Amino acid sequence: MLSTLGALLVAGGLAAVHVGAGRLEFLRGIPRSGWLSLCGGISVAYVFVHLLPEVTEHQSRVVEAFEPTNVILAATHERSLFVAALVGFTLFYGLEQIVRRSQARPGRRASAGERTIRAVSGVFWIHIGSFALYNGFFGYLLLHREETGVSSLLLYAVAMGVHFVVNDYGLREHHRAAYDRVGRWLLAGSILGGAAVGALVGVPELVLSLLLAFL
pLDDT recorded at residue 117: 45
Q: How far apart, in Å, are the Cα atoms of 103 and each of 28, 119, 171, 209, 212?
A: 20, 10, 13, 36, 31
* Whole-number Å distance between alpha carbons of 163 and 154: 14
Contacts 24+ apart (CB under 8 A), 151-159: 153/3, 153/6, 153/7, 153/10, 154/10, 155/46, 155/50, 156/10, 157/10, 157/13, 157/14, 158/42, 159/42, 159/43, 159/46, 159/50
Instruction: Give the separation between CA 22 and CA 164, rounded to whole angstroms.
Output: 10
The reported pLDDT for the residue numbered 113 is 45
- The predicted structure's pLDDT at residue 16: 92
pLDDT (0 to 100) of residue 60: 82
Domain ranges of the chain: 2-21+38-214
**Per-residue tens of pLDDT for the chain, all 215 residues:** 557 888 899 999 999 998 887 666 655 654 556 766 777 788 778 777 777 878 888 888 777 777 666 555 555 667 788 888 888 888 888 887 887 777 665 544 444 444 444 445 778 888 899 899 989 988 998 888 777 778 888 888 888 888 888 888 888 888 888 888 899 999 999 999 999 999 998 888 778 888 888 77
DSSP 35-79: HHHHHHHHHHHHIIIIIHHHHHHHHHHHHHH----SHHHHHHGGG
Query: Are 166 and 155 within 8 A, CB to CB?
Result: no
